[in-house]
Structure 1
Amino acid sequence: MKHIANFANKKVLVLGLAKSGESAARLLDSLGAIVTVNDGKPFEENPAAQSLLEEGIKVVTGGHPLELLDEDFELMVKNPGIPYDNPMVVRALEKKIPVVTEVELAYLISEAPIIGITGSNGKTTTTTMIAQVLTAGGRKGLLSGNIGFPASQVAQTASSSDTLVMELSSFQLMGIETFHPHIAVITNLMPTHLDYHGSFEDYAAAKWNIQKNMTAADYLVLNFNQDWAKEMAGQTEAQVVPFSTAEKVDGAYLEGDTLYFRGEAVMKADEIGVPGSHNIENALAAIAVAKLSGIASPIIRETLSAFGGVKHRLQYAGTINGVAFYNDSKSTNILATQKALSGFDNSKVVLIAGGLDRGNEFDELVPDMKGLKKMVILGQSAARMKRAADQAGVPYLDATDVRDAARKAFAQAAPGDVVLLSPANASWDMYSNFEVRGEEFLATVEELKG
């Protein structure tokens, strides 16, 4: 890592812990900053704060006292999930204290070039595809960022021969100043996280931050299936490299049954190791990045053909008595479930759906639900999901939780069928996160195998 002097003897407040905050605090301390960590969880319930205190880092826990900001801090490193209307953040900005997220720190210390991936759907799968292809091509792609590995931690051990492949959320991108990837990808944009951003325009602006420091020597990979991307293509200094499943573009595209990059056939669409039209888009984005990085087509084809997906994202969980199980617990919105269903023959799918009731109906999902063999419905949103099932003419059963749903779905399936957990809803009515929901599904599949 670069041992920069930017933070030496400067007072820095790290607001919010979790993995990224803990990593940022330790990094700043190693760079000579005078670090204070503030986290809302009480000290006795906060092992991360306890550990940092043992290392000599000041911690303030159990609340967010505004008077803490009277200590002349020169920087705030904010947990991405903390909104900008949080009183601590508001006060910091009023006092002209710069507010960043830890991906900014990662950029400042990284010896490795950075490939940044953002978007509404597909970014984790695309990030993982890119990292695997680069590694297969001898470029060692290191997963980092919103994918579960704090960027400021991974960057500390990355060398100049590595590549940081960084998944970036809109929340993280709102907190950058100098962050500068050499290649950036925006997989797609849909109206999500509007409770945080307030409007789609503000959400899109946060995502667009990924390219704000890019130059003509850099590459911005955009999804030309979306009019938004075409409109924005002229508003960046970076070289735009498009991908599309709908038209031939000067980048990566689908023509017939084959994926191309600038006229060169790379692989057949049905060779991609994970199903669904959305994964063709993800693969095209990965192909664009790989080719821009000098990876040969045979390596790309071999790697993407062997790609087994990402946990909880249309993850193949096994086959029992001819019935295949797929865990798509990460599908927390309608679009994600639409894309998941696109990879299967509905007449052979038993769909498990439902979860947190956010007040929205599922009318948009009805055309994609038509022809399903059956649905198993659960969660707060069950009544709304049943209305959509009725509109689609799909029979359904009720379930109490994911374990019950998986068992009932299996009982309805015949050899050659698919049991698909793709809820189209967040998990928080029943589970602490989508990972826990998905793990229960996977555990039930293992039980059924027994």
Structure 2
Amino acid sequence: MATCLVIGNAKSGNAAARLLNQKGYTVTLTDMQRIPDKEELETLGIRVVDEGHPDFLFNDDYAFIVKNPGIKYSVPIIRYFVEHQVKIYTEIEIASWYAEKFHYGAVTGTNGKTTITSMLYECLKANGRCEAAGNIGTPLSELALKYGNEEKDIALELSNFQLLGIESFHPEAAVVCNLAPDHLDYMNSVEEYYASKFRIAMNQRGDDWFLRNVDDPIVMQYARDLKCKIIDFSLLRTDTPLCIKDGCAWLFDKRLFKLDDLKVVGMHNVSNAMIAGAMAVKLGVSFKDVEQALTSFKGIEHRIEYVGEKNGVSFYNDSKATNTQAAAIGIASFPKNILLLAGGHDKGIPFEEMRAYDDRIKCCLAFGETKAKIAEIFTRSKQCETMFDALNEAWQMSAPGDVILLSPACSSYDQFDNYEQRGDLFKEAVLKIIHE
């Protein structure tokens, strides 16, 4: 059997290495860090090269490379294989080879991916054979290894990093929910970022569905020459197959849900529910079961998540807002008196979009690498070193009726491992304030 190299351990690399090993490949797994389960992997027959990428890795003739999606193509070991024209995949592509009976509702876009995927998963539960995977947490390769060729409906969240490494992956329903500048520290241009998102539809054909957001001009610019069935949707128009009329969301003139019955707030969540509901219908869920699932959905952690209240001051965790557009959605959820905590790793994206909400911001407490850039956006602002400093400053200046909102508009990598850790630590700090 052929030889392959998996670069980057984490969840997805580890799962891909195990899957390929089971399928008979000669697998090498390498990572710059120590791989904790090295002995177990070696017992399975996987060669593990951790704590660096030594030169002997370049000596083998690899059938293909599996790259962790977070590793940039500019990293020397990746650049070497690009230059030598070795195929480079992500684990999504690998998993799809060995899960021929999986049916995918695939979700990408700049903001809302996790909420849509979570909503879709709740809808798919009605069929009793579903899983959630991809960027939402569980590697698809892990499911392929576990279930093989069992019939499964998969709610699949995909980043553009994962989509850059696909070749034959084929979803039956797909969406690019919206587009805004992001990941400019990884991509060569914003146009390249946008184009990478539409790889989600490159293998769709015939009766496959692509849900097209006609309210988003950038989506409309890139959603061209698709070879599948296009299902247009809108929050503003009533002439699209998926739309809002008379206080309800409709798909082909059949009701998906009543807007007033949703437990999540904001028109962005109405759009998210419309997308998830339509994708679930495509994957065989009844309209009745879709409506029940969507109207029972209570939201996801770290996305405009209510943490608590003290002395009339409310605290919200929106740590998942890792770009400007997402932060703008979080800010727009509150009419005034916002003490905004924003900042983090500089991804090279502009923050100007948040300036439109300046009148809602009582004060922006900017922190991290981007503190100076974000502080410039708002009339009332103060620079802090850490998120915890920003929270303490916000609490000191707060008054009854204020909202303390963590909506960073940046990724977390300057001070935290990921947005989940950032959100969890924020909530811990808030609960200390509430209970002291």
Contact (CA 8 Å) 1:252, 1:287: kept in 2 or not? no
The 1-side partners of 2:89 and 2:229 are apart by 26
User: Match for 1:386 among 349, 358, 375?
Assistant: 375
Give 1:251 shift: 2.7
Contact (CA 8 Å) 1:277, 1:339: kept in 2 or not? no
- 2:92 corresponds to 1:103: yes
Give the CA RMSD over aligned residues.
2.4
Q: Secondary structure at the match of 1:192?
A: coil
User: Match for 1:21 among 6, 13, 21?
Assistant: 13
Indicate the residue corresponding to 2:48 in structure 1.
59
Which residues of 2 match residues 54-203 of structure 1 at below 5 A?
54-110=43-99, 111-135=101-125, 137-158=126-147, 160-203=150-193
Indicate the residue corresponding to 2:331 in structure 1.
341
Alignment-mate amino acid for residue 49 of structure 1: K
Indicate the residue corresponding to 1:6 in structure 2.
none
Alignment-mate amino acid for residue 427 of structure 1: S
Give 1:73 shift: 1.6
Give 1:193 shift: 1.5
Greater shift, 197-206 or 11-20, is seen at: 197-206
Indicate the residue corresponding to 1:228 in structure 2.
218
Indicate the residue corresponding to 1:5 in structure 2.
none
Distance 1:216 1:132, change over 3 A: same
The 2-side partners of 1:292 and 1:360 are apart by 35
Indicate the residue corresponding to 1:307 in structure 2.
297
Q: Could you list the per-position Cα deviations for residues 98-123 of structure 1 after superposition, in whole angstroms to 9, with x for gaps in the alignment?
A: 21111012111113212211111111
Give 1:56 shift: 2.9
Indicate the residue corresponding to 1:419 in structure 2.
404
- 2:33 corresponds to 1:34: no
The 2-side partners of 1:276 and 1:359 are apart by 28
In structure 2, stretches of 5+ residues that fail to align are: none
User: Match for 2:315 among 320, 325, 341?
Assistant: 325
The 1-side partners of 2:420 and 2:233 are apart by 30
The 1-side partners of 2:183 and 2:202 are apart by 21
Which residues of 2 match residues 424-435 of structure 1 at below 5 A?
424-435=409-420
Equivalent pairs, count? 433
Contact (CA 8 Å) 1:23, 1:153: kept in 2 or not? yes
Distance 1:360 1:205, change over 3 A: closer
Contact (CA 8 Å) 2:341, 2:404: kept in 1 or not? yes
Contact (CA 8 Å) 2:337, 2:361: kept in 1 or not? yes
The 2-side partners of 1:239 and 1:353 are apart by 40
Alignment-mate amino acid for residue 26 of structure 2: I
Contact (CA 8 Å) 2:9, 2:35: kept in 1 or not? no
Give 1:196 shift: 1.8
Indicate the residue corresponding to 1:368 in structure 2.
357
Indicate the residue corresponding to 1:210 in structure 2.
200
Alignment-mate amino acid for residue 430 of structure 1: Q
The 1-side partners of 2:82 and 2:348 are apart by 33
The 2-side partners of 1:35 and 1:285 are apart by 39
In structure 1, stretches of 5+ residues that fail to align are: 1-8
Contact (CA 8 Å) 2:13, 2:68: kept in 1 or not? yes
Q: Secondary structure at the match of 2:49?
A: strand
Q: Secondary structure at the match of 2:300?
A: coil
Q: Could you list the per-position Cα deviations for residues 260-280 of structure 1 after superposition, in whole angstroms to 9, with x for gaps in the alignment?
A: 222233333343322233222
Q: Could you list the per-position Cα deviations for residues 391-441 of structure 1 after superposition, in whole angstroms to 9, with x for gaps in the alignment?
A: xxxx44555533343344345555554322101122233223222211111
The 2-side partners of 1:313 and 1:272 are apart by 16
Indicate the residue corresponding to 2:427 in structure 1.
442
Give 1:445 shift: 2.6
Identical-pair percentage: 36
The 2-side partners of 1:382 and 1:167 are apart by 30
Give 1:315 shift: 2.1
User: Match for 1:280 among 250, 255, 270?
Assistant: 270
Give 1:23 shift: 0.6
Contact (CA 8 Å) 1:277, 1:342: kept in 2 or not? no
Contact (CA 8 Å) 2:372, 2:383: kept in 1 or not? no
Q: Could you list the per-position Cα deviations for residues 254-298 of structure 1 after superposition, in whole angstroms to 9, with x for gaps in the alignment?
A: 346432222233333343322233222212211221232343344
Alignment-mate amino acid for residue 374 of structure 2: M
Contact (CA 8 Å) 2:365, 2:384: kept in 1 or not? yes
Greater shift, 145-154 or 307-316, is seen at: 307-316
User: Match for 1:352 among 341, 345, 358?
Assistant: 341
The 1-side partners of 2:222 and 2:370 are apart by 36
Indicate the residue corresponding to 1:12 in structure 2.
4
Alignment-mate amino acid for residue 307 of structure 1: F
The 2-side partners of 1:89 and 1:27 are apart by 22
